């Protein structure tokens, strides 16, 4: 079996997540100590040099965002937010990090806070994540007790407070500006971008918001250096990625690999192949807001750019595998039901459009004589209009699974009939 390369999950399963001494014995909080002895600029420059890209889905360069939040003003209040909402279907990597090694995340957040000059931070945790919330809360209390959080951290003169906020089950609240509204205690509706959070975020202040996996990479990068990090993964997407593999495979689970691993390796070497020896049908990569891959994509190195070149998205790293007996139209219908349900209703194109997409596919599927060659081009046309006219990225999402399912899979199925 292909060997995992664990950076973020290096302690996972090896230490007791509720025992800070075990974390410290595994080099825990050494990166924070090192960071506090450097200038903040040195920290975000190191992250820029490492090439780390946001693991929440979009793959935006992390250090660039940090720098933007750090330099925007000289003496203003700033915030750090860790996005642990993890609402993308098929994704459970952040949960694993929080449940198995919460201190790595706290250490990463404290380093990020120091680099931008933030003295207050929040971890926004998905409401359903009970164990993760309890473990992160315990770890925060332990970190305060040992002087890794709070006033004058490790005698450095740097103060940083961290607390948890819990989500209430809205997928859209994972979107960064909606999340910020939610932390402010408001209804989960998005704000118009720009301004970006690094300019005007929480309570109008510059805010760095990053995903759990992104921030959990910070300690290893600060300890081992940008050059080391760049030696792993691919040129444009350095480092590792945690893939969560589910669906029709023999060994579903979470696996951390260098960027550039292929779908074939993940399905056949890592997850022990398709269940019951059935032929592969399709894989949905990146969740509901992701894309359908077919057999032809098995050897594409999985990183942000290589996947984009072939019309796929890495997104959150979720890989949902379907054998060839699965009815992909029903899968698509459940994705459209998801978007219809999660649309916040603030803008008309998405509020009306996501319902219309669902109804169009549902009615055609239930009326008999379903003709994908007629229905999909119309669904794609409508989803394209919704994408162009919606207020936030949720309305821009249904086009992704629709177009990829049609172009990568259904067109060739029809041609082979």
Ligand X SMILES: Cc1cc2nc3c(=O)[nH]c(=O)nc-3n(C[C@H](O)[C@H](O)[C@H](O)COP(=O)(O)O)c2cc1C
Two tokens at 99?
């449940």
Q: Choose one: 222-230, 319-327, 366-374, 387-395; the region binding ligand SF4 (CB under 6 A).
A: 387-395
Q: How far apart are CA 319 and CA 290, in angstroms?
A: 10
Q: Which two tokens stand for residue 350?
A: 């998405």
Q: Which residue from 85, 99, 101, 303 is in contact with ligand X, where contact means CB under 6 A?
A: 85
Give 135 or 346: the residue with its C-beta nearer to ligand SF4.
346
Contact string (CB under 6 A) for ligand X, positions 253-292, x = contact: ----------------------------------------
Reading the block at residue 107, the tokens are 């250490």
Of 167-175, 304-312, 321-329, 370-378, the segment contacting ligand X by CB under 6 A is 167-175
Contacts of residue 172, defined as CB under 8 A and 6 or more positions apart, other chains included, come to: 178, 188, 190, 342, 343, 344, 392, 394
Contact flag: residue 343 with ligand SF4 (CB under 6 A): yes
Residue 17 touches ligand X, criterion: CB under 6 A? no
Q: Distance between CA atoms of 32 and 209, rounded to whole angstroms?
A: 19
Chain centroid to CA 268: 24
Dist CA 20 CA 197 (whole Å): 32
Q: Give how far the C-alpha of residue 287 lies from the chain's centroid of Cα atoms, to the nearest Å.
A: 10
Q: In angstroms, give the least distance from the CB of 94 to ligand X.
A: 7
Span near ligand SF4 by CB under 6 A; candidates 2-10, 54-62, 245-253, 391-399: 391-399
Q: Which is nearer to ligand X, 117 or 287 (CB)?
A: 287
By the rule CB under 6 A, 233 interacts with ligand X = no
86 binds ligand X (CB under 6 A): yes
- Quick one: 12 or 210, whose CB is closer to ligand X? 210
Binding mask 344-363 for ligand SF4 (x = CB under 6 A): xxxx--xx------------
Is residue 391 a contact residue for ligand SF4 (CB under 6 A)? Answer: yes
Contact segment (CB under 6 A) with ligand X among 24-32, 50-58, 105-113, 133-141 equals: 50-58
Q: Any contact of residue 139 with ligand SF4 (CB under 6 A)?
A: no
**Closest by CA position to 87, among listed 350, 332, 318, 293:** 318
- Regarding 87 and contact with ligand X (CB under 6 A), the answer is yes
φ, ψ for residue 386, nearest 5 deg: -65, -45
Does position 167 interact with ligand X (CB under 6 A)? The reply is no
Piece in contact with ligand SF4 (CB under 6 A), picked from 27-35, 125-133, 192-200, 342-350 = 342-350
> How far from chain centre, in Å, is Cα 31?
23
Angstrom distance (rounded) from CA 353 to CA 342 = 12
Interface map 152-191 toward ligand SF4 (x if CB under 6 A): --------------------x-----------------x-
Element (H, E) at 247: strand 240-247
Residue 133 touches which of ligand SF4, ligand X, none (Cβ within 5-8 Å per kind): none
Output the smallest distance, CB 4 to ligand SF4, in A. Answer: 36
266: contact with ligand SF4 by CB under 6 A? no
In the block, residue with structure tokens 């594409």: 300
Query: Residue 30 CB, nearest distance to ligand SF4 (Å)?
Result: 42
Beta strands 120-125 and 161-166 are parallel
Indicate which of ligand X, ligand SF4, none lies near residue 351 (CB less than 5 to 8 Å, by partner kind).
ligand SF4
Neighbours of 253 (CB within 10 A): 13
Length of the chain: 417
Q: Please give the backbone phi and psi of residue 288, each rounded to the nearest 5 degrees, phi first.
A: -60, -35
What residue spans of 162-217 are helical by DSSP H? 176-183, 212-216
Least Cα distance to 378 among 397, 347, 356 occurs for 356
CA atoms of 283 and 286, how far apart (whole Å): 10
Task: Please give the Cα distance from 204 to 314 (Å, whole number).
Answer: 31
Contacting residues toward ligand X, per CB under 6 A = 54-58, 60, 62, 83, 85-88, 171-172, 174-176, 209-211, 214, 393-394
Contacting residues toward ligand SF4, per CB under 6 A = 172, 190, 343-347, 350-351, 390-392, 394-395
């Amino acid at each position: 079996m292909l060997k995992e390369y664990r950076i973020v999950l290096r302690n996972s399963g090896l230490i007791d997540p509720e025992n800070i001494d075990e974390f410290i014995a595994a080099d825990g909080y050494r990166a924070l100590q090192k960071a506090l002895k450097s200038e903040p600029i040195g920290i975000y420059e190191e992250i820029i040099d490492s090439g780390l890209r946001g693991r929440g889905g979009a793959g935006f360069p992390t250090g660039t965002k940090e720098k933007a939040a750090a330099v925007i003003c000289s003496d203003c209040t700033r915030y750090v937010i860790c996005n642990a909402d993890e609402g993308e279907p098929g994704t459970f990597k952040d949960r694993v990090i929080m449940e198995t090694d919460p201190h790595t995340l706290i250490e990463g957040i404290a380093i990020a806070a120091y680099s931008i000059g933030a003295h207050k931070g929040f971890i926004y945790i998905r409401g359903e994540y009970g164990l993760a919330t309890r473990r992160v809360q315990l770890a925060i209390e332990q970190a305060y007790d040992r002087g890794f959080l709070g006033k004058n951290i490790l005698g450095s003169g740097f103060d940083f407070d961290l607390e948890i906020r819990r989500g209430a089950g809205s997928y859209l609240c994972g979107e960064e500006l909606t999340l910020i509204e939610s932390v402010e205690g408001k209804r989960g509706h998005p704000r118009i971008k720009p301004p970006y959070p690094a300019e005007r975020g929480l309570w109008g202040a510059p805010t760095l918001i990053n995903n759990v996996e992104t921030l959990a990479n910070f300690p290893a990068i600060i300890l081992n250096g940008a050059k080391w990090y760049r030696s792993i993964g691919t040129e444009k997407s350095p480092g590792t990625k945690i893939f969560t593999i589910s669906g029709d495979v023999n060994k579903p689970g979470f696996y951390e690999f260098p960027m550039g691993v292929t779908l074939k390796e993940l399905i056949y070497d890592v997850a022990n192949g398709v269940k019951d020896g059935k032929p592969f049908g399709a894989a949905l990569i990146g969740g509901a807001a992701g894309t359908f891959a077919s057999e032809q994509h098995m050897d594409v190195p999985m990183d942000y750019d290589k996947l984009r070149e072939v019309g796929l998205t890495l997104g959150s790293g979720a890989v949902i595998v379907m054998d060839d007996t699965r009815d992909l139209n029903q899968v698509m219908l459940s994705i459209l039901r998801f978007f219809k349900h999660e649309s916040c209703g603030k803008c008309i194109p998405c509020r009306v459009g996501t319902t219309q997409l669902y109804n169009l596919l549902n009615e055609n599927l239930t009326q008999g004589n379903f003709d994908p060659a007629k229905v999909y081009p119309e669904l794609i046309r409508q989803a394209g209009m919704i994408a162009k006219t919606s207020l936030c990225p949720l309305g821009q999402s249904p086009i992704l699974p629709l177009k990829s399912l049609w172009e990568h899979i259904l067109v060739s199925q029809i041609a082979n009939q």
